[in-house]
Every structure is written in C-alpha cells, then in structure tokens.
Amino acid sequence: MARKGNEAGSLVLPWSFGGERSIKRPSADGTVLIVALVLALIGLVMVFSASGVVAGSRFQDPIFFLKRQLAWLMVGLLLLQMASRLDYTIWRRAALPILGVTALLLVLVLIPGIGTAAKGARRWLRLGAVSIQPAEMVKLVVVLYLAAYLSKKGERIKELARGYLPPLVVVGVLSALVLLQPDLGTVVVVGIVTLGLLFLGGARLAHLFAVVPVLIAATAVLIWKSPYRWQRLMTFLDPMKDPTGSGFQVNQSFLAFGSGGPFGVGLGEGRQKLFFLPEAHTDFVLALVGEELGLIGTSAIMLLFTVLVLKGFQIAGRAREPFGRHLALGITLLMGVQALINAGVATGLLPTKGLTLPLVSYGGSSLVMNLLAVGILLSISRDRQPGRSLMRYGGTKAA
C-alpha cells in the first residue's frame, strides 16, 4: 500500500533511504532547463556585444560587464541546481519569513547611507563589492507568498474579507515600498501577476473587477504627479515629437530594429550600441538583438519564451499539490508578463519602463532570481501526475 505522503505528492529527497523512499523520482523537465540555459547564454553573448564599447570607454575594460554577468550566471546556475533538487514544498513553510526579510530589505534601501542611489532612484544595497536589488526579489517573493496563501485558503479565497483582501493588503504594502524607490515597472508586473494568480486561484470575478478601476486610477495619479512619468507617457503617444530629447531612446530602438532587417547586420556589427542607444545591454537588449540578429533573432528569443510559458502551464497542470500548481503558474506568469512588457517597450508598443528581459538582460539580481525561479519550476516538474497534461487549475481533470 502506498504511503499517504506519496499520495499527497511529497518529493523523495535524494538523501533519503529505506523502503518506498528509495523509489526513483521522475526526472525534471528537460525542455525548461534547455530553454533557460539557451536564453541565459544568448544573454551573455548579447551583453558582451552591447556593452563592450561602453565598458571600454567608462572602465577601460571591454569585458567589465561580461565578467560580472558571467559571475552572476554561475551563482544563478548553482541556485538553480540546488532549487531543482529540493522538495519545493519547503518554500511554503519559508514564504512568510522570506516575505518579512524582503520587506526589511526594501526599508533599508530607502535609508540614506545604506541604500545606494543612481540615476534618480534608490534601489540597491551594496554588500562590499556586490550590489543587490531587493525589488527584483519582490517579484518571486510575492509569487511564493501567494502560492502558499492560496493553497492554504482554498475555496475561502471567494470570501471578500477573509480570503480576497488580505493578500491584496500584503502585496500593496510591498508595492508601496517599491514605489518609494521609485520603481513603477516592478509594481505593474507584481500587480498583473497578483491579479492573475488570484483569478486562477478561484477569486470571484466581481471582486477582481472591483479592484481594477482603483488600480488604474492609482496608476494614473502616479503618472500625473510625476513629471518624468508624464513625459514618458507623452513620448509613447508621439515618439517623433522630440526625437533628440525625450524620444531619443525609443527612436534609437526603432532604428536598431529597422536596420537589422530580416537577418541582421551580424553579431557584433551593430552601430546603435556605439553610444546611440542608452541601456543597450539592460532594458533595450532586445533592440540590439533585432539589429545584429534581425527579425530571425528576435523571433527566436520570443519563441523560446513562448515554449517556456507553455511548459510552465503544463507543469502546473500536472503538479500533485495545490501549492505546486499555484507556484508553477505564478513563476510562469511572472516570466511571461515581464518578457512581454520588455518587448513591448523596446518596440514602442508600451511606455518606457525600467524592466529587464528575463535571463537575457544584464543585471545580477534579475538573472539570479530568474534562474532560482526556473530551478523551483524544475522541482515542481519532478512531482507530477503521469498522464495528466491538461487539468483545470483548481485540480479537477479537464474534459
């Protein structure tokens, strides 16, 4: 007779011994691992291509950014390996403590002398020679918290006061701390993922629709009260009005995509990175891909993200436990939404926001947190129900 713990879907740890614990676990989803590694390696190449000239001029070291990205990649891959081997249910118990630590880090960032300011924003904590960005942690931490909360509440999420409102308050407090940095882009991603998870977790549509006008109004006020956000919105509506001023970055992005054509000008041969396109190795790395690798290159990257999202949904559908389903959906939504917004900004379909392209853009905190998220997703893929690729999110078989 099978153990009750196995029926509940608990993972068998590799260091466990005896009896049924020695049964070999299913392997992790190889497609997710390969796609994540390919995206990270593409990012490594494009970061070097995009930043070599700038790094040589600013730091007298053409591989300045490459060395740091490579170091963070090694750290991220180590965390991915560890997370993929751990029983993912450990994150359910750790969700609240991690949430508290993250909130504390967000407060520390805002304290002068502790938080580091750059380009008008205070978003970094410096630990010796290393800088970390707690706002990047918030995205994954919110997903962990919501997955634990939804798995605990179950059908009670349909109740307004005892189910639906508490997570909105918690996420709202974290979002307020992020806004003080300021970082509206991260708050937008967190907000979309939060509403998406609550919807998929069974929240009432009436409750969801009730909060949307409030969020839209709050966002409108934040834009209206902030001169630089208002300028970004006006530039988005008419990017050619001031092509050498407020519209410079997005117009240079247009030029990068346009000059690349179907097949690109060749890897390393792009010209927009020669002090024309600002942040070519971070927020606008996709524009450089479009210039050097063309439509083929950008399409390949977006196709890889599409595969990653589809596999994430499949992993969620096969997960044995509600926590695993919520967590897999949250991670998938997080990476998919951020990739979509980044691509929309680079192509002028959305106003400019400071959001990286997951796994591809330069940025240690972003790269490490995304690789950790992939590792958790791989762990969930090990604890699957064979033969079930399509399930209703609540756990019932699809027809």
129: confidence class by pLDDT, cuts 50, 70, 90: confident
What mean pLDDT comes out for the span 157-173? 93
Lowest-confidence pick of 49-58, 168-177, 362-371:
49-58
Give me the pLDDT at residue 166, please: 94
The DSSP line for 183-223 is -HHHHHHHHHHHHHHHHHTT--HHHHHHHHHHHHHHHHHHH
Give me the pLDDT at residue 383, please: 83
Q: What are the CA-CA distances from residue 312 to residues 33, 296, 385, 389 (Å)?
A: 11, 24, 15, 11
Q: Higher-confidence residue: 394 or 199?
A: 199
SS3 59: helix
The DSSP line for 221-266 is HHHHH-HHHHHHHHHHH-TTSSTTTTTHHHHHHHHHHHHHTTT-S-
Q: Which pairs from 120-129 meet CB under 8 Å and 24+ separation?
A: 120/228, 121/181, 121/182, 121/183, 121/354, 122/181, 123/181, 123/183
Q: What percent of the chain has pLDDT above 90?
A: 52
What mean pLDDT comes out for the span 66-90? 94
Give me the pLDDT at residue 172, please: 94
Residue 395 has pLDDT above 70, yes or no: no
Give me the pLDDT at residue 51, please: 87
pLDDT in tens, 312-333: 999 999 998 999 999 999 999 9
What is the pTM assigned to this prediction?
0.87
Nearest CA to 132 out of 188, 77, 191, 72 is that of 72
Close Cβ partners of 230 (under 8 Å, ≥ 6 residues apart):
223, 224
Residue 253 has pLDDT above 70, yes or no: yes
Q: Do the strands 121-127 and 130-132 form a parallel or antiparallel pair, or are they unpaired?
A: antiparallel
Give me the pLDDT at residue 393, please: 44
Cα of 336 vs its chain's centroid, Å: 8
pLDDT in tens, 17-27: 334 444 456 78
pLDDT in tens, 187-220: 999 999 999 999 999 999 999 999 989 988 988 8
Residue 2 has pLDDT above 60, yes or no: no
Fill in the amino acid letter for 336: G
What mean pLDDT comes out for the span 377-383? 92
Give me the pLDDT at residue 22, please: 40
Backbone angle region of 261, left / alpha / beta, with phi > 0 → left and psi within -120 to 50 → alpha: left
Q: What are the CA-CA distances from residue 264 to residues 285, 302, 356 (Å)?
A: 14, 16, 22
Q: Are 319 and 383 in contact (CB under 8 A)?
A: yes
DSSP-derived secondary structure letter, 271: S
Q: What is the mean pLDDT of the chain?
A: 85
Q: Are 319 and 285 in contact (CB under 8 A)?
A: no
pLDDT in tens, 349-377: 888 877 899 999 998 889 999 999 999 99
168: confidence class by pLDDT, cuts 50, 70, 90: very high
Q: What are the CA-CA distances from residue 351 to residues 97, 210, 324, 369, 370 (Å)?
A: 35, 25, 34, 25, 23
Q: Are 89 and 376 in contact (CB under 8 A)?
A: no
Residue 386 has pLDDT above 70, yes or no: no
Nearest CA to 362 out of 270, 288, 296, 266 is that of 288
Q: What percent of the chain has pLDDT above 70?
A: 89
Fill in the amino acid letter for 283: D
DSSP-derived secondary structure letter, 24: P
What mean pLDDT comes out for the span 258-267? 89
Cα 240 to Cα 236: distance, rounded to the nearest angstrom? 9
- Residue 337 is encoded by which pair of tokens? 């939404």
What mean pLDDT comes out for the span 114-122? 75
Write the burial class of residue 57 (CB in 10 Å: 0-12 exposed, 13-18 middle, 19+ buried): exposed
